[in-house]
């Protein structure tokens, strides 16, 4: 708990230091496909920054990292403006925080979208990198990284080497312009095999699947991307004028029918008890999934409620990311259990 007695100049120093660090770590993460600190350490710094801003709103500047989506557009790629904005997610780190989020979401939905029955679409949080796929008349026209949320990097030729991603949609009925958002990742097994092949060639292995996926997609030469075992699952949509689908789970079904890969781990629940049970279950199975995850994402399923709740400058108010405790803690717990 913050003491009111902390001198103003010390607060400002701590604040400036946090802002500098978050900027530096984000730059390494998004632009260099590497990380200078663990995700848990980064999340802690970011949470402290948010806490300081909540306690001392006078410190907040318009360009604070808490007001921005976080990525950048490297000069190595052509910039692409997204037809509609891409967002990050609000994080929670405990079941108590998640329960508070559920209560707020329920209250907001009841007052802003009365009559909508709130259901919780629960998804795994794939640890990869976001891409925006723009289909025009059913044909993949542009693929971009998230970048700063407004403008991303043109990675169309690289994305076209990913077998999961259709160059043309199947069937019929798609809007003239369709923006599909998904996460590009390297499956855990393929990541291990790929690293072994690097070691066998006398090269340095890649640090983790997320950075490997980001580095693989952001190659200058698409032929290099083609050699990497990249896959993708869809997790959202942007522009979709004329589509009369009214919920997130229905839109996934439609995207799947058009040939896009949808995660097998998505589940729709009526109650938050079921959501917590699923988070527990995935928490126990997390290393047997196809890919690494860094948490779970819970979304209000109904589009009317999503529209009514809207967005902050950085995140949707109708979705939240629950982050599992850092892996070290998991490992320790497992070891303790084994010893017992
Ligand atoms: P985020 O990880 O908080 O969440 C938003 C992103 O999650 C989306 O853009 C999307 O790409 C992805 N996602 C995966 N599965 C999804 C699903 N089912 N539904 C919706 N979205 C899904 O986003 P962020 O703003 O990219 O980054 C913040 C996180 O990245 C931090 O929590 C931190 O762990 C990590 N990070 C680490 C460092 C570091 O130095 N270690 C630096 C910057 C960021």
Model confidence band, residue 171 (pLDDT cutoffs 50, 70, 90): very high
- Residue-level length of the chain: 340
Tell me what pLDDT residue 4 has. 56
Tell me what pLDDT residue 328 has. 58
Q: What predicted TM-score, i.e. pTM, was given to this entire model?
A: 0.91
| pLDDT (tens digit per residue) in 231-278 | 999 999 999 998 999 999 999 999 999 999 999 999 999 999 999 999
Cβ atoms 218, 77 nearer than 8 A: yes
| pLDDT (tens digit per residue) in 15-64 | 999 999 999 999 999 988 889 999 999 999 999 999 999 999 998 888 89
Give the number of other Cβ atoms within 10 Å of residue 64's Cβ. 17
Reported ipTM? 0.94
Percent of the chain with pLDDT over 90: 85
Strands in the chain per DSSP E: 79-81, 91-92, 120-126, 129-136, 139-145, 151-153, 177-185, 231-237, 267-269, 293-300, 319-322
| pLDDT (tens digit per residue) in 135-168 | 999 999 999 999 999 999 999 999 999 999 999 9
- Give the Å distances, CA to CA, from 244 to 169, 175, 227, 241: 18, 10, 39, 9
Tell me what pLDDT residue 339 has. 32
Residue 5: is its pLDDT beyond 70?
no
Tell me what pLDDT residue 207 has. 87
Residue whose Cα lies nearest atom 5 of ligand 1: it is 88
Tell me what pLDDT residue 178 has. 98
Atom in ligand 1 nearest the alpha carbon of residue 30: 43
Tell me what pLDDT residue 337 has. 35
Residue whose Cα lies nearest atom 35 of ligand 1: it is 39
Residue 81 sits at the vertex; the CA angle it makes with 79 and 85, to the nearest 5 degrees, is 130
In the annotation, is 119 catalytic?
Answer: no
Tell me what pLDDT residue 332 has. 42
CA distance 267 to 207: 31
Spatial strand order in the sheet of 177-185? 139-145, 129-136, 177-185, 231-237
CB of 237 shorter than 6 A to ligand 1: no
Residue whose Cα lies nearest atom 42 of ligand 1: it is 26
Q: Which of 119, 125, 299, 323 is labelled catalytic?
A: 125
Which pair of tokens denotes residue 264?
């097998």
User: What mean pLDDT comes out for the span 93-109?
Assistant: 98
């Amino acid at each position: 708990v913050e003491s009111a007695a902390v001198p103003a100049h010390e607060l400002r120093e701590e604040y400036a230091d946090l802002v500098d660090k978050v900027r530096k770590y984000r730059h390494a993460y998004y632009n260099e496909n590497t990380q200078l600190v663990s995700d848990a350490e980064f999340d802690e710094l970011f949470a402290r920054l948010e806490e300081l801003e909540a306690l001392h709103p006078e410190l907040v500047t318009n360009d604070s990292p808490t007001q921005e989506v976080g990525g950048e557009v490297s000069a190595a790629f052509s910039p692409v403006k997204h037809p509609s904005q891409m967002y990050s997610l609000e994080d929670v780190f405990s079941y108590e925080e998640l329960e508070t989020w559920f209560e707020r979401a329920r209250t907001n939905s009841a007052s802003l979208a009365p009559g909508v029955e709130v259901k919780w679409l629960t998804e795994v949080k794939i640890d990869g990198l976001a891409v925006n796929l723009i289909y025009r008349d059913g044909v993949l026209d542009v693929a971009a990284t998230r970048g700063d949320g407004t403008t991303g990097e043109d990675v169309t030729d690289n994305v076209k080497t990913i077998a999961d991603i259709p160059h043309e949609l199947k069937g019929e009925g798609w809007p003239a312009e369709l923006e599909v958002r998904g996460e590009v990742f390297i499956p855990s097994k393929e990541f291990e095999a790929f690293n072994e092949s690097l070691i066998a060639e006398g090269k340095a292995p890649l640090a983790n699947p997320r950075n490997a996926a980001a580095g693989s997609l952001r190659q200058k030469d698409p032929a290099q991307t083609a050699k990497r075992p990249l896959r993708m699952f869809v997790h959202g949509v942007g522009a979709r004028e004329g589509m009369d689908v009214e919920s997130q789970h229905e839109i996934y079904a439609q995207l799947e029918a058009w040939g896009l890969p949808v995660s097998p781990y998505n589940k729709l629940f009526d109650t938050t008890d079921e959501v917590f049970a699923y988070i527990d279950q995935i928490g126990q199975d997390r290393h047997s999934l196809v890919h690494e995850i860094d948490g779970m994402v819970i979304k209000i399923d109904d589009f009317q409620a999503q529209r009514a709740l809207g967005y902050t400058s950085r995140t949707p108010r109708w979705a939240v990311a629950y982050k599992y405790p850092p892996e070290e803690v998991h490992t320790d717990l497992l070891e303790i259990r084994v010893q017992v």
